Amino acid sequence: MKRSYRGNRLRLGLAKALFLALFVVVGGRAFQLQVLQGDKLKRLGERQHLKEWIVLPKRGSVMDRAGEPLASAVNVTGSPLKTVRLTGLSVIFGAGSAKRWA
């Protein structure tokens, strides 16, 4: 049942060669990426990183209990509203409110 010294040594040598080959392959690939292609990959990464994207959120409709839409969402890029000075609010809200809202 004893294994021979020669068989153990052969298996250890094969394992050592396998790990050495794996180390050489990984080290060679790291050298290729860092030294040979480093500048090109750096430029590509900067181009991808510095892009700005405007992503509008997807909003759903507001529904009532029966499932009928109460309000629907519309995608717009800006607001067409203009600010207008409010006048005549004292009639609606009482005396002194025109100064607060103007």
- Listed by start position, the domains of the chain span 5-49
102 neighbors 85 (Cβ within 8 angstroms) = yes
Q: What are the pLDDT digits (tens) for 47-65?
A: 887 667 787 777 778 888 9
92 within 8 A of 79, measured Cβ to Cβ:
no
Query: Which range has highest mean pLDDT (10-14, 74-78, 94-98)?
Result: 10-14
CA distances (Å), origin 87, targets 27, 46, 61, 101, 102 = 77, 54, 35, 8, 7
Q: What pLDDT is stored for residue 3 in this prediction?
A: 65
